Chain A
Amino acid sequence: MELDVRGEICPYPMLKAVQAMKNLKGSDNVVVITDHAPCLETIPPQAGRHGYSFQVEETGGAEWTITLSPLGGAQ
């Protein structure tokens, strides 16, 4: 699923990403779209905690996508 949190600042992007990972229970990726650089430090540590891996990509224009993938693939 896509989670567009542009315009949101800490801690909301992280809280929403965690909520999404909990709701999906590893059934899908979570693609977080953000323009708040501090998330790059706060979201990745939450990935492992909820059984996800993460990948960060800078997409330009002060925006990033953080792709959270279930460890062991989507179920």
Chain B
Amino acid sequence: MENLAPGTSLSNRFVRHGSKHSLAAIITVGGILFVAGTMANNDPLLAPLWLLGAVAGFTLQRSRFCFASAFRDLFLFGSSRMMRAIIVGLVIATVGFGINMHGQVPFPEFGVQPQEANILPFGPSTVVGGLLFGFGMVLSGGCVSGSLYRMAEGYIGSWVSIAGVLVGMGLLSQSWNWWWSTTIVNEPRIWIPANFGLGYGGGIGITLVGLLALFLIVLWWESRSGLSTVPMGRSERSEDTFEEKLSVFWNLFFVRGWPAAVGGAVLGVIGLMMYMTHMPWGVTGELARWSNGIMTLLQFPPPEALGLSDIGGCAGRSDETGIFTHTFAVTVGVLPGALVGALFSREFKLRFPQSPKRYVQALTGGIIMGYGAALAVGCTVGAFFSSVPSLSLSAWLFALALAFGAFVGVQVIKRLA
């Protein structure tokens, strides 16, 4: 895909990677490892989570992973490419999570739920949160995790989106107790294996069947759209010498974008490893913590959130104190990881939106998305990508609401070209 100028000799191509970009990338890797070393002094789980967060960021950048486009492109032009990639990751994580949860809670029917799994409230808050999040992510051009890694790639619009997310989360924090007493307090947290005598076999089986059905539906949907899959042209170059062979692998890993499905699979494994270390992947909790911190600095602290810490999931951990928390590790770690990917592939660039409209879209979409994420106690990562494998029914309702929200968002953004 990324054809270099004709006439450049292979050795020159390879040498070009030894540019200042690669040097900056290596320095960033050093920085990531240095921070990991500092973290290891206090808490044995912190450094592994930080490194996994960085690998997640690298993977997101390399595979140009985008939860927002997975939902949006289904309605915009019938493409199911990114949604299929997510499904690949979910299948892997579902089996892995199931085994890990079985270790914690061998008999699900006794009513005890695995502590760190993202089993979230199922009810009106899930629907409203999903609708708002789906609409907001399409309007702003990326979901929370997508905007985070694009911040590291130099997208100024994504910085604006995340600022909006912090504002939206703040608005929700101020009104959480209203939502809690109106609906969330009555919403069950439905863990599939604990119901209908399903157990782990049934819970995992039903989830996998659901994912297969989703796969077939989006594939059928794509076939109706007339979108053809284009064979991506392979460059014809000789691969004879050691240097040439090495260059091919280097390009495959560090320069060309990875196939989305590879990204999905790697993210599924990373999510599982994070869960095995401590908790499933999520990025909402850390941002909610910042939002609350900023409001406290501005003398406008949110009221004590009723019931939130019992829910678990990402936002349930937003009361952790100190800078280097587990949520910090898996959220902020994404940025340097993505930066490494952007530098090695020479895709780092400060990009300013040309039209003022785009700033308004990024900010407004971010605010709506932040409000939705805080309400649903998670984003496309915590309440969906980590929640489906947690065998939580809420994840499916959230995904359905996301799709509806994205559909409405598509109708709006088409008119904002």
On A, residues with C-beta under 8 Å from B are 6-12, 14-16, 19, 35-38, 40-42, 44-49, 54, 56-58, 60-64
Contacts and interface: CB of A to CB of B under 8 A. Distances in A.
A49 B78 CA distance: 12
Contacts of A46: 77
Given A48-B228, A49-B227, A40 B257 contact: yes
Given A19-B417, A57-B3, A11 B354 contact: no
B84 interface: no
A7 B354 CA distance: 6
Nearest to A46: B77
B64 A41 contact: yes
A21 B76 CA distance: 17
Given A7-B351, A7-B354, A11-B73, A45 B228 contact: yes
Given A7-B352, A38-B69, 5 more contacts: A8-B353, A42-B73, A42-B79, A48-B230, A62-B347
* Residue in B72, B77, B228, B257 with the greatest tally of chain A CB atoms within 10 Å: B77
B348 A62 contact: yes
Contacts of B417: 12, 15-16, 19
Nearest to B232: A44
B69 A10 contact: yes
Contacts of A45: 79, 227-230
Interface string B1-21: 111110000000000000000
Contacts of B79: 42, 45
Which 4 pairs show the lowest CB-CB distances between chains A and B? A62-B349, A7-B354, A58-B2, A38-B64
Contacts of B413: 11
Given A7-B352, A11-B73, A48-B228, A58 B4 contact: yes
Interface residues of B, number: 40
Contacts of B77: 11, 14, 46
Nearest to B345: A37
Contacts of A37: 64, 257, 345, 347
Nearest to B140: A9
* Residue in A7, A60, A63 with the greatest tally of chain B CB atoms within 10 Å: A7
B141 interface: yes
22 contacts: A6-B354, A9-B150, A10-B141, A11-B76, A12-B417, A14-B77, A19-B417, A38-B66, A38-B69, A40-B1, A40-B257, A42-B79, A44-B230, A44-B232, A46-B77, A49-B227, A49-B228, A58-B2, A60-B346, A61-B349, A62-B346, A64-B2
B414 interface: yes
Given A7-B354, A37-B257, A49 B2 contact: no
Interface string B300-314: 000000000000000
B66 A10 contact: yes
B141 A9 contact: yes
A10 to B, nearest CB: 6
Contacts of A42: 73, 79
A46 B228 CA distance: 8
A59 B353 CA distance: 20
A34 to B, nearest CB: 10
A10 B157 CA distance: 12
A61 B226 CA distance: 34
Contacts of B5: 57
B194 to A, nearest CB: 40
B328 to A, nearest CB: 27
Contact of A6 (B226, B348, B351): B351
B155 interface: yes
B81 interface: yes
Contacts of A15: 76, 414, 417
A41 B81 contact: yes
Interface in B92-116: none
A45 B222 CA distance: 12
A4 to B, nearest CB: 9
Contacts of A64: 2
A42 B347 CA distance: 17
Nearest to B416: A12
A49 B413 CA distance: 22
Interface in B187-235: 226-230, 232
Contacts of B414: 15
Interface string B351-394: 11110001000000000000000000000000000000000000
* Residue in B157, B230, B260 with the greatest tally of chain A CB atoms within 10 Å: B230
Contacts of A11: 69, 72-73, 76-77, 413
